[in-house]
Structure 1
Amino acid sequence: MAAPGRRSSTFTRLLRHGFTDPSAAERLLDAPELAPVRDDPVLLEALGATADPDLALHQLVRLLEAQPEPAARRELLDTVIAAKPLRDRLLGVLGASEALGDHLARHCGDWRALVTYEPRDLHPGVAEFESGLAGADDPVSLRIAYRRCLLALAARDVCGTIDVAETAAELADLATATLRAALALAEAAAPEDAALCRLAVIAMGKCGGHELNYVSDVDVVFVAEPAEGADETRALRAATGIASHLMRICSETTVEGSIWPVDANLRPEGRNGPLVRTLASHLAYYQRWAKTWEFQALLKARPVAGDAALGEEYLAAVRPLVWQASERENFVSDVQKMRRRVVETLPPAEVDRQLKLGPGGLRDVEFAVQLLQLVHGRVDPALRSGTTLDALDALAAGGYVGRADAAQLDEAYRFLRSMEHRLQLYRLRRTHLVPEDEADLRRLGRSLGLRTEPVTTLLREWRRHAAVVRRLHEKLFYRPLLDAVAQLAPGETRLSAKAARERLVALGYADPAAALRHLEALASGVTRKAAIQRTLLPVLLGWFADSADPDAGLLNFRKVSDALGKTPWYLRLLRDEGAAAENLARVLSAGRLAPDLLMRAPEAVALLGEGAAAGLAPRGRAQLEQEVLAAVRRADDAVQAVTAARGVRRRELFRTAAADIVGSYGTEARPAEADQGALVDRVGAAVSDLTAATLAGTLRAVVRAGWGDTLPTRFAIIGMGRFGGNELGYGSDADVLFVHEPRDGVDEREAADAAGRVVAEMRRLLQVPSADPPLVVDADLRPEGRSGPPVRTLKSYEAYYRRWSLAWESHALLRAEFVAGDEELGRRFMELVDPLRYPARGLPEDSVREIRRLKARMESERLPRGTDPKLHAKLGPGGLSDVEWTVQLTQLRHAHEVPALRTTRTREALTAACAAGLVPEEHAATLDEAWVLATRVRNAVMLVRGRAGDTFPTDSRDLAAVGRYLGYGPGHAGDMLEAYRRTTRLARTVVEELFYGA
């Protein structure tokens, strides 16, 4: 018995070395034969370095006790003490694997398999493992030899001599050697059957992919042919007997345990099909009946045992089928559904503990990699690896996966596989569930090198890697581009000159020679950029062709790509981020406006990758004004400040146009009426908010440059017309009124001069030629029109409206809304004009007649010569003017008694009039449909031509592009015009009744 002092010292040392039950360890170490261990600090330190020091010591004691003689025990202890490599290997295994400790206790001399030290660059392959299994002449001795080989392999693993990928590859090589040995035993047991057939064993799954687990089913397929002169039926019967015997040798459990189950259920027809087939039978099945998942499984097929020539014939025959699989209808969606089904079948209690099948598990990595391989590998042989990590490296090298994404997936996969390996190594049982027991988690964490708070650290790292895997799985596995690439014919995925030219002509490119030059410039070379372009372009060509001008779309794509070619995120965005590539294709081929806006700031492409809910969603007026004012503050002078404000306007115009195009072009069918109205409202509000923010920033810049912080007079901007109604289009001028009020103590003349200079400078700066589109500020709706001063005091407005105001001015003021400047002054102006636009006694009949005369005169005088009135969106019958004047007359007559009519927005006022019973519901629907359609036509013309217009284009390509925006496919421009005439004709009938009183 050790003295109390020494016991206390030993206890402390054991605790320091990571023993969780130092009292039990002390009792073991008190045995006289263990004195060398107890007294050797190096040995105690080595025990403390294992995954489970208590287990390692316990199993070392068992191994010593199992030695048949004292001399054998001394030899073992002396060798462990003297030889560090053996000490680390033996104790490492004993602390990590209870099952291998049991094996050593039964076969106490097998520890000598760990004596030989191998440098890192010497790893056994199939031949070395076959040598280790040599001499096993029955199933039991084969199991013992297999465990002996596994012992040495596990020792290399736990000591870090090999990494997780090398461990998996060695396990696959050991499985190969074992299958060969088992086949030899089975053939020796039935030599007559062996003489009748040629039998090849094809490894599938992880064994085929050189990435096997410690304990896993070894998936195989058997293929056989009759030996020369043998009958096929007898030969297949003989081969089936041998294959069945092989499976029993490996799978049956004895006192020595089992090796692993051999699973042949991946064969044609699964467990319902014959165990062994001829090569012709395999091919017939795959060509006629195989499902998508069966081709995915064949990705890892590898001949491992039996007739090597037959195995290679099998591989040569099925490999082409694997790389044609992605051409099958619904291939991508089938693979995606299969992955979802796997998750759905998991027991709810296991989902969050599953390393393999759960969300963020190993299968997420493997399925994503395999799907990308199968889609892109048909034209890129570099991707055709059965090993997950090698395939991932190839996908990254080829540009199919971003380098950062690939690195994160690689790191996560290695960590998860390491967890899986160490879990299974403990008892050599097939499991993929993370344990819940604290001791098991501690041993698992320590086995992975996590020594500080191993449980907490392990769980944190596991969750972190699982979250990364899940995020990247969703990003890669459900990438929209995959389905589009998979649907291309094989010749279309590689842009050879001849195939590309034929495809361009078939797709409707008017100048295939120019298009080929663009393709050559984009996709030639061996750079990563060119590789990604070669993946993108075949799909983009089809999307461009879905527009009225595919040539322009491709040209614009080349311009954007040239501008952003050295920007690392650009092609990565198109490849990875949702529908970004398709959105860009739609935007670039929809006309001139959006591409022109984009070319001036190509980095705005990033907006297309954030999705409709974020990147393309319009920003509110307050947010826009805050950004514009911040940009103005940072500028050195007024010119720079307004340039910055106009830059924000350009970017936001692109955002709005892109969202409009994506929303309109997303389907061949015409959007529903409610969707059309929502698109129109969104564009109108977005452009109006942007205009208001731009004016606010410009006003701030001009005041700061000329007067510092405070202008001598309060100043407000009132939006009018479509601006005040929040209904601006892309090419609309900003109709405004300018109002000011001298500050206390400021001379009126000085105030008026300051206000006039502000107006002049704002209008000048907003129209200075630059890369940004100009903003025309129109104040012609002011009192006295162009003959009156551009800016007035509030008192001047009050005096004018009291004495001189005409009916048309009350009419115009219906759209007045404060948009920028002094809020208090703006509020007071609105209070001033409310009695004019919402007259307390309604509108006198003489005023009604005057408004009708004005409208009739406008129709006859302002319509441009040579224009077909029925196709003029603004002034034509049933167009914008008809609907707006009808709604506004209703407001002038009834807004004093119907508060809901007191709005500047046309559709809102029409809804209120209908709710109040002033406009029949069917009439309101007719007017609303016509107004929305006419507004969309104007927006379409601006998007397509890059300049404002109120009539349909005469150029056939531009007309087709307008039709595409409105939801009409190729060749249906006539249908579009007829539908427009029909809609506006019905609206004009309502206008005749409601406005003119017909």
Structure 2
Amino acid sequence: MSSIRREAGMTAPGRRSSTFTRLLRHGFIDASGAERLLESPELAPLRNDPVLLEALGATADPDLALRGLVRLLEAQPTPTERRELLDTLIAAKPLRDRLLGVLGCSAALGDHLARHAGDWRALVTYEPRDLHRGVEEFERELARADDPVALRVAYRRCLLSIAARDVCGTIDVVETAAELADLATATLRAAYRIARAAAPEDDALCRLAVIALGKCGGHELNYVSDVDVIFVGEAAEGADEARALKAATRLASRLMRICSETTVEGTIWPVDANLRPEGRNGPLVRSLSSHVAYYQRWAKTWEFQALLKARPVAGDLELGEQYIAALSPLVWQAAARENFVADVQKMRRRVVENIPASEVERELKLGPGGLRDVEFAVQLLQLVHGRTDASLRSGKTLDALQALAAGGYVGRADAAQLDDAYRFLRSMEHHIQLYRLRRTHLVPEDEADLRRLGRSLGLRSDPVAELTREWKRHTSVVRRLHEKLFYRPLLDAVAQLAPGEARLSPEAARERLVALGYADPAAALRHLEALASGVTRKAAIQRTLLPVLLGWFADSADPDAGLLNFRKVSDALGKTPWYLRLLRDEGAAAENLARVLSAGRLAPDLLLRAPEAVALLGNGDGGGLEPRGRAQLEQEILAAVGRAESAEQGVAAARGVRRRELFRTAAADIIGSYGTEAQPAEADQGALVDRVGGAVSELTAATLAGTLRAVVREGWGDTLPIRFAIIGMGRFGGHELGYGSDADVLFVHEPRDGVDEREAAEVAGRVVAEMRRLLQAPSSDPALLIDADLRPEGRNGPLVRTPASYETYYRRWAQVWESQALLRAEPVAGDEELGRRFMELIDPVRYPQGGLKDDAVREIRRLKARMETERLPRGADPKLHTKLGPGGLSDVEWTVQLMQLRHGAVEASLRTTRTREALAAARELGLVSEKDAATLDEAWVLATRVRNAVMLVRGRAGDTFPTEPRELAAVGRYLGYGPGRVGDMLDAYRRTARRARGVVESLFYGAQ
């Protein structure tokens, strides 16, 4: 029970009559007051009529309806007329429902009936033709009004009939808005008639057309709203143009005053001409040619949006149609204007920013999630896509929304939700205004007003709570979908296309493809035909996407490959309902996909093996492109292994996760490097490198952990008879793996109690062999190669050793290069405690007390020089070899590692497996100058990026730049060098490497 009813109950007499109880049951709040009114002489014939109480109880506000009825009966001028009203109420249910319904919703219309006691008869008629009244019918009803006061009375009488059918549900909210617009049209015509009659000399000089804009123009008018218009004037035959325009201006001004001025009967509505060219500062009436010249030269973006709903409504309709025919092409070309989409978006934000903070949450029209959000989203989509699709050119919001859904520009579910929300919010707006017939879009705060509003919308159980819940639900839906549609990145890209490009035609497509740089336009045309032909919804969406995608593919070094890959992905996902919807709706997914598919071979190959990974490119449940952490990856992989029926199935699942995550990392790397409209290229190249290295290394560790679990489960159940740990080495241990890197590892095992060493060694060997077999087995997923060549004795030594065996070897026979290799050792999978003990075992080896002796330093330098001489591939340009060339990865890493070997025992900050971290620590310790450290870091990051780029572009690893021109250009695009700048890229690499080599000569070869 509401607080209002509780208060009413408290003030009621202690002993309540049966009438009082019935009144409460029928929804009255002031039951005592209602009981007194029912005792009035005017209602004596109805006092005991249960039908009357039921009819009153069906209204939005029974108390208001009863008070209005008593006032209406009191206002009847004679007993005979009062009796006629009472008899009609008793006998005619349609009249009873209409009259009481209006009285229960609108105090203002109740006041009108009290002043014009005979107007209730306008509600008697109940014929099929009465259900949907048009302009001509309203014109007939207004025809007798020959002055502004009479026009107001006649207007309210017509409004009364619309409101009656609205509150009774005879017409829905869309029909109500259309009838209100038709009534406004008829009223403008009547006002023009009165204005002409008052100034026949002006009428003789000119032709004047009244063009409705906004809600009136779109047949979507509110009960109380400004009526936006534009006036177009021309000279009558033989009249002087200047005099004619002055006469037309006087007529237009008189028409506006007739509608807008307040009289004893109030006002109708303001006629607002401020949307005309130059606004308030411009002439009220212009000639058609003046209008056209203005919109061609000076009009702003919002002015074209305002014309979207323009239609002739009064005056010289032939001139009005000429106006529409002249300006309509300009409206549908407006989206091609520079910054058009951004301007419309900015205007919408400015409207929200100007709402007082105290009102923004109650603002039904202008606030976030309000009616304007629906209208702006629909209008923006219309203006962008309507250039080439005439089916979208409707002035009615919901008709346009339906056309957008039918054409594939908006998802059908999204369109249905927006339609539902718009209807509900418009119904709220209508009934809020209907109460006092005042122009407002604020949801009331008073509980009685909210109760009346909720009941008027059919919410009867708990009107206030139900209304609030439904209002917030619809507002939330509108806000979400407005953000999704209105700020869709694809919109701006479509708007920037030339009008002929917005839809592909075979004739124009070949020329455009050649101009965009497609090497094989004939093949490209075949792909386009396969993707976009037909009348299916899928083809319609493709026709929207492809013109934009073609431009994005063309920004790459190989547009043909991008388009081919897009066709392959589209074919693979052709029957998947979310795929094209994702590209059309979900953030920057389409542009992300275009960049990824045209950047080289690796990412498309990974994607085509499991095309559903396209979902990662959006902003939805796929998690986006942010790399997943080790714990999350391992949890997923171990769960998959646990569900598998065999080790083969378990490792296949682990490799599937690895393939998906490699794609996620590669896609993020490409987009971070190339940039998109929504996400510019990342400035910190070191961060990109670290992200790739960390993500691939964490993924490799999780894959090994899952593979180990699968092998152990199948061979030994829950418990392995040994402890077993995997130690990452090289780039793996350093969290610096590339896309095509092997996993350098050491294997450590230890027998559990009761297991002899020979059996333990056999078990460990079987585990390693099975892991390697399963990870390298033929599959659609990329293999993971395990390289254990950094173990003691290299390829000639046992694959797996115990901690004691490792300790013995390192103490007696370890060479300096093996100590250096251990600098990057880190446990990655298996028994954590065993891994920790292994690290304690090797710390004295890799961080020797007292640092390195001179002969050890000389040995390291000798090994480095020998490696540069012997391992560099024959014919390779040393200056462009990213690993072994001067200033390459080897130079930087060996220089840093030499500092770690010398000082790591004393300086804890140097004890890291990561190259860049160790270099930063050396800089902080003063072992290398800030400038030299920056030079080495820059060279290492660049060389790593080149290697990553080569793998992304070619689909296979490489340590030097490609020689094939397109591949080389693609590497250049990845590194930030546009078309024609391959030479600049190579020069920049040589320059960076040369500077780094100078630092290496000083620190590595010259240091004592």
TM-score, normalised to structure 1, is 0.98
Identity of paired residues, percent? 85
Matching of residues 34-183 of structure 1 within 5 Å: 34-119=43-128, 122-183=131-192
Distance 1:120 1:307, change over 3 A: closer
Q: CA deviation at 1:466?
A: 1.2
Aligned to 1:227: 236
C-alpha distance in 2 between matches for 1:315 and 1:611: 43
Does the 8 Å contact 1:37/1:44 carry over to 2? no
Aligned to 2:269: 260
Q: Does 1:927 align with 2:936?
A: yes
> Which of 344, 358, 370 is residue 353 of structure 2 equivalent to?
344
Aligned to 2:320: 311
Matching of residues 560-571 of structure 1 within 5 Å: 560-571=569-580
Aligned to 2:974: 965
Aligned to 2:8: none
Q: CA deviation at 1:134?
A: 2.1
Does the 8 Å contact 2:30/2:63 carry over to 1? yes
C-alpha distance in 2 between matches for 1:40 and 1:672: 78
Aligned to 1:698: 707
Q: Does 1:286 align with 2:295?
A: yes
Does the 8 Å contact 2:205/2:239 carry over to 1? yes
> Which of 475, 489, 492 is residue 480 of structure 1 equivalent to?
489
Q: CA deviation at 1:841?
A: 1.4
C-alpha distance in 1 between matches for 2:908 and 2:956: 38
Aligned to 2:983: 974
> Which of 796, 799, 803 is residue 812 of structure 2 equivalent to?
803
Aligned to 1:954: 963
Aligned to 1:197: 206
The code of the aligned residue for 2:686 comes to G
Partner SS state of residue 353, structure 1: coil
Aligned to 2:891: 882
C-alpha distance in 2 between matches for 1:863 and 1:670: 39
Q: Does 1:917 align with 2:926?
A: yes
Give unmatched runs, 5+ long, in structure 2: 1-12
> Which of 642, 645, 662 is residue 654 of structure 2 equivalent to?
645
C-alpha distance in 2 between matches for 1:357 and 1:526: 38
Distance 1:121 1:495, change over 3 A: farther
Partner SS state of residue 26, structure 1: helix
The code of the aligned residue for 1:552 comes to A
C-alpha distance in 2 between matches for 1:842 and 1:239: 99
Aligned to 2:310: 301
> Which of 732, 735, 738 is residue 747 of structure 2 equivalent to?
738
Residue deviations 1:777-804 (CA, integer Å, cap 9, x gap): 0000011100011111122111111211
Q: CA deviation at 1:670?
A: 14
> Which of 366, 381, 387 is residue 357 of structure 1 equivalent to?
366
C-alpha distance in 2 between matches for 1:646 and 1:61: 81
Residue deviations 1:3-24 (CA, integer Å, cap 9, x gap): x999610000001111110000
The code of the aligned residue for 2:541 comes to I
C-alpha distance in 2 between matches for 1:417 and 1:708: 66
Partner SS state of residue 519, structure 2: coil
The code of the aligned residue for 2:316 comes to D
Q: CA deviation at 1:136?
A: 1.4
Q: CA deviation at 1:36?
A: 3.2
> Which of 837, 843, 847 is residue 834 of structure 1 equivalent to?
843
Partner SS state of residue 737, structure 1: strand
Q: CA deviation at 1:394?
A: 0.8
Partner SS state of residue 232, structure 2: strand
C-alpha distance in 2 between matches for 1:828 and 1:53: 84
C-alpha distance in 2 between matches for 1:247 and 1:336: 32
Q: CA deviation at 1:558?
A: 0.6
Matching of residues 453-464 of structure 1 within 5 Å: 453-464=462-473
Q: Say which is worse superposed, 348-357 or 766-775, in terms of deviation.
A: 348-357
C-alpha distance in 2 between matches for 1:109 and 1:667: 68
The code of the aligned residue for 1:452 comes to S
C-alpha distance in 2 between matches for 1:919 and 1:936: 24
Partner SS state of residue 322, structure 2: helix
The code of the aligned residue for 1:906 comes to T
C-alpha distance in 2 between matches for 1:403 and 1:674: 40
Distance 1:210 1:668, change over 3 A: closer
> Which of 604, 616, 627 is residue 618 of structure 1 equivalent to?
627
Root-mean-square deviation (CA, aligned residues, Å) is 1.6
Does the 8 Å contact 2:42/2:70 carry over to 1? no
Does the 8 Å contact 2:42/2:74 carry over to 1? no
Q: Does 1:942 align with 2:951?
A: yes
Q: CA deviation at 1:231?
A: 1.1
Partner SS state of residue 238, structure 2: coil
> Which of 18, 22, 34 is residue 9 of structure 1 equivalent to?
18
C-alpha distance in 2 between matches for 1:483 and 1:431: 34
Q: CA deviation at 1:611?
A: 8.1
Aligned to 1:787: 796
Q: Does 1:532 align with 2:551?
A: no
Distance 1:248 1:475, change over 3 A: same
Does the 8 Å contact 2:682/2:688 carry over to 1? no
C-alpha distance in 2 between matches for 1:5 and 1:592: 87
Partner SS state of residue 352, structure 1: coil
Aligned to 1:898: 907
Distance 1:290 1:669, change over 3 A: closer
Q: CA deviation at 1:33?
A: 3.4
Does the 8 Å contact 1:120/1:162 carry over to 2? no
Residue deviations 1:536-555 (CA, integer Å, cap 9, x gap): 11111111011000000000
C-alpha distance in 2 between matches for 1:630 and 1:6: 71
Q: CA deviation at 1:485?
A: 0.8
Q: Does 1:996 align with 2:1005?
A: yes
Does the 8 Å contact 2:489/2:677 carry over to 1? no
Aligned to 1:437: 446
Residue deviations 1:366-397 (CA, integer Å, cap 9, x gap): 11111111111011000001111111111111
Matching of residues 355-394 of structure 1 within 5 Å: 355-394=364-403
C-alpha distance in 2 between matches for 1:87 and 1:119: 18
Partner SS state of residue 766, structure 1: helix
C-alpha distance in 1 between matches for 2:678 and 2:877: 28
The code of the aligned residue for 1:71 comes to T
C-alpha distance in 2 between matches for 1:669 and 1:349: 33
Residue deviations 1:602-648 (CA, integer Å, cap 9, x gap): 11011110289951011111110111000000111010000000000
TM-score, normalised to structure 2, is 0.97
C-alpha distance in 2 between matches for 1:153 and 1:947: 73
Q: Does 1:754 align with 2:754?
A: no
Aligned to 2:688: 679
- Count of aligned residue pairs for this structure pair: 995
Aligned to 2:10: none
Distance 1:612 1:628, change over 3 A: closer
C-alpha distance in 2 between matches for 1:72 and 1:7: 35
Q: CA deviation at 1:155?
A: 0.4
Residue deviations 1:680-732 (CA, integer Å, cap 9, x gap): 00000000000000000000000101111111111100000000000000000
Runs of 4 or more, structure 1, over 2 Å off, are 4-7, 35-38, 118-122, 611-614, 667-674
Aligned to 2:645: 636
Q: CA deviation at 1:119?
A: 4.1
Q: Does 1:207 align with 2:247?
A: no
Aligned to 2:339: 330
C-alpha distance in 2 between matches for 1:863 and 1:466: 66
Does the 8 Å contact 1:283/1:318 carry over to 2? yes
Does the 8 Å contact 2:740/2:951 carry over to 1? yes
> Which of 489, 500, 505 is residue 498 of structure 2 equivalent to?
489
